[in-house]
Amino acid sequence: MKQPALRHVGDLHQNKLGYLFTAPAFLVLVLMVVYPLIYGIVISFFDTNLVNRFDFVGLKYYKRLIVDETFYASLGRTAIFTIFTVAGRTVLAVLFANLLVMDSMPCKTVFRSILVLPWFFPDVVVGILWRWLYNANYGLFNFILRTIGLADAPIEWLSNSKTAMWAVIMVSIWKGFPFMMVMLLAALQTISKDLYEAAELDGCGVFQRFLHVTLPGIMPVLSTTLMLEIMWCFKHFTLIWNLTKGGPVDATQVVSIDIYNTAFQYTRYGESSTRAVFVFVIIIILTVMQKKMKRKEA
């Protein structure tokens, strides 16, 4: 009769010890995630300077947001940036992952290390590097184009509203495709080679083997990674800000930069929080979609 009681006391002691060890991480989570999230939602109902003025305005900013064409324009630019960035990253990731998984590929370890490097560079460093590459006067791209005769005059890559968004998208693709490549490479290595041999014996070509063997094999990882990339790109800020700061003439002002400018340039913190809440709802919807996709795959 005493042994169960002693075991119960031991379990309570272990539980308390576990709570003690997890308390610092839980405290950091509350301070860094939960509190800012709740605070951001609360101040979206106030006209405030975040110091000594908190005037309750209710749903005023939400009603204004519904008819705000500027915000919808930034959402449209965000959609363009997200669609083309994710598409470009997917194409490069699938291509390089398939190359690196081939037995006949020489120096695979070296190429893997080189291709993964862009992912490890901070966005600030990447922004500075590519601003130099895009520079109209002494940038590498203009130098190459003028040397081979494809351009007569310097191209203003980041200062022209027609090219700025595509220039930013190219940088974002280069920066982000290694993550998807590594995920797909891991998925490809789980596909049995017997399946490829059987498909080849049945007369399947390279494209048919990719379509009927490779794609189904990597689809669970690919779908999850695609959804993560969409969510990350939708709220992307640092790289775009370092390259163009949303210009020229709002050509690259995505929704994250619109939120930043509303808060820190126009000091409309409550209205900025309203826009952030709207984006948060979109991210929640995307998260729910991801979970439903995972359930269907399971």
Q: What is the pLDDT of residue 8?
A: 54
Which residue bears the tokens 């509350």? Answer: 30
For residue 122 the two structure tokens come to: 């901070």
Domain boundaries, the chain: 2-43, 74-297
Q: What is the mean pLDDT of the chain?
A: 88
**For domain 74-297, which architecture applies?**
Orthogonal Bundle (1.10)
Angle (CA) 104-100-202 rounded to 5° is 65
* Long-range contacts of the stretch 38-46 (C-beta < 8 A, 24+): 40/273, 40/276, 40/277, 41/273, 41/277, 43/269, 43/270, 43/273, 44/270, 44/273, 44/274, 44/276, 44/277, 45/270, 46/270
CA distance 178 to 158: 24
Q: What is the pLDDT of residue 1?
A: 46
The string of DSSP letters for 197-235 reads: HHHHHTT--HHHHIIIIIHHHHHHHHHHHHHHHHHHHHT
CA distance 220 to 216: 8
CA distance 154 to 58: 51
List the pLDDT tens digit at each of the 298 positions of the chain: 445 554 555 555 567 777 888 888 889 988 998 998 999 999 999 999 888 889 999 999 999 999 999 999 999 999 999 999 999 999 999 999 998 888 777 777 888 888 889 998 999 999 999 999 999 888 899 999 988 988 888 889 999 999 999 999 999 999 999 999 999 999 999 988 888 888 888 888 888 988 889 998 999 899 889 988 998 999 899 999 999 999 898 999 999 999 999 999 999 999 999 999 999 998 888 888 877 777 776 6
Question: Count of CB atoms within 10 A of residue 181's CB?
Answer: 26
For residue 105 the two structure tokens come to: 């590929």
Q: What is the pLDDT of residue 185?
A: 92
Residues 6+ apart with CB under 8 A from 99: 105, 111
| pTM of the predicted protein model | 0.88
Q: What is the pLDDT of residue 195?
A: 87
| Cβ atoms of residues 252 and 166 within 8 Å | no
